[in-house]
A = this chain, B = another copy of it.
Amino acid sequence: MPRLVEVTELALRDAHQSLIATRMALEDMLPVCEDLDNAGYWSLECWGGATYDSCIRFLNEDPWERLRTFKKMMPKTPLQMLLRGQNLLGYRHYADDVVRKFVDKAAENGMDVFRVFDAMNDPRNLEVAMKAVKDNGKHAQGTICYTISPAHTVEGFVRMAGQLLDMGADSICLKDMAALLKPQPAYDIVKGIKDTYGEQVKVHVHVHATTGVTLVSLMKAIEAGCDIVDTAVSSMSLGPGHNPTEALVEMLEGTGYTTRVDLDRVLKVKRHFKEVRKKYWEFQSNFDVETEIFKSQIPGGMLSNMESQLRQQGHEDKMDAVLAEVPRVKKDAGYPPLVTPTSQIVGTQAVFNVLMGDYKVMTGEFADLMLGYYGASIAEKNPEVVQRAVEHYKGQKPPITCRPADLIPNEWDKLREETLKLEGNNGSDEDVLTYAMFPQVAPKFFKERAQGPKSVASDPSKKPKPQPQPGDENMGVLTRELQYAISFNGKEYQVKVAPAD
Contacts and interface: CB of A to CB of B under 8 A. Distances in A.
Contact of A182 (B234, B251, B468): B251
A51 to B, nearest CB: 24
Nearest to A281: B466
A251 B184 CA distance: 8
B184 A253 contact: yes
A496 interface: no
A237 B183 contact: no
B465 A244 contact: no
Interface residues on chain A, size class: 35 or more
Contact of A244 (B183, B289, B464, B473): B289
Interface string A442-475: 0000000000000000001101111110100100
A356 to B, nearest CB: 30
Interface stretch (A67-75, A122-130, A209-217, A404-412): A209-217
Contact of A247 (B212, B251, B466): B212
Interface stretch (A82-90, A290-298, A342-350, A364-372): A290-298
A212 B238 contact: yes
Interface string A106-150: 000000000000000000000000000000000000000000000
A249 to B, nearest CB: 8
A288 interface: yes
Contact of A215 (B216, B468, B473): B216
Contacts of A460: 466, 468
Interface of A: 182-185, 211-213, 215-217, 219-220, 234-235, 237-238, 243-244, 246-247, 250-251, 253-255, 263, 267, 274-275, 278, 287-292, 294-295, 460-461, 463-468, 470, 473
A219 B222 CA distance: 14
26 contacts: A182-B251, A184-B253, A211-B250, A212-B237, A212-B243, A213-B215, A213-B250, A215-B215, A217-B251, A219-B219, A219-B220, A234-B289, A234-B291, A235-B288, A238-B238, A238-B289, A244-B289, A244-B291, A274-B473, A275-B470, A278-B468, A461-B465, A461-B467, A461-B468, A463-B466, A464-B465
A213 B231 CA distance: 13
Given A182-B250, A184-B253, 13 more contacts: A182-B253, A182-B254, A212-B234, A213-B251, A215-B215, A215-B216, A234-B289, A237-B289, A244-B289, A246-B294, A461-B465, A461-B468, A464-B465
Contacts of A463: 465-466
Contacts of A254: 182, 184-185
A468 B290 CA distance: 27
Contacts of A291: 234, 244, 246-247, 250
Nearest to A251: B213
A440 to B, nearest CB: 36
Contacts of A294: 246, 250
A206 to B, nearest CB: 18
Contacts of A212: 215, 234, 237-238, 243-244, 246-247
Nearest to A462: B465
Nearest to A470: B275
A48 to B, nearest CB: 24
A293 B11 CA distance: 21
A184 B275 CA distance: 33
Nearest to A237: B289
Enumerate the 5 nearest inter-chain pairs by beta-carbon distance, A residue then B residue, closest first. Answer: A212-B247, A184-B254, A246-B291, A213-B251, A213-B247
A204 B470 CA distance: 37
A481 to B, nearest CB: 32
Nearest to A184: B254
A437 B213 CA distance: 40
A275 B472 CA distance: 11
A184 to B, nearest CB: 4
A237 B216 CA distance: 17
Contacts of A470: 275
Given A234-B212, A238-B212, A238-B289, A183 B251 contact: yes
A338 B463 CA distance: 37
Contacts of A184: 253-255
Contacts of A247: 211-213, 289, 291
Contacts of A220: 219
Contacts of A461: 465-468
A254 B466 CA distance: 41
B234 A183 contact: no
A254 B148 CA distance: 13
B473 A234 contact: no
A183 B219 contact: yes
A340 B287 CA distance: 30
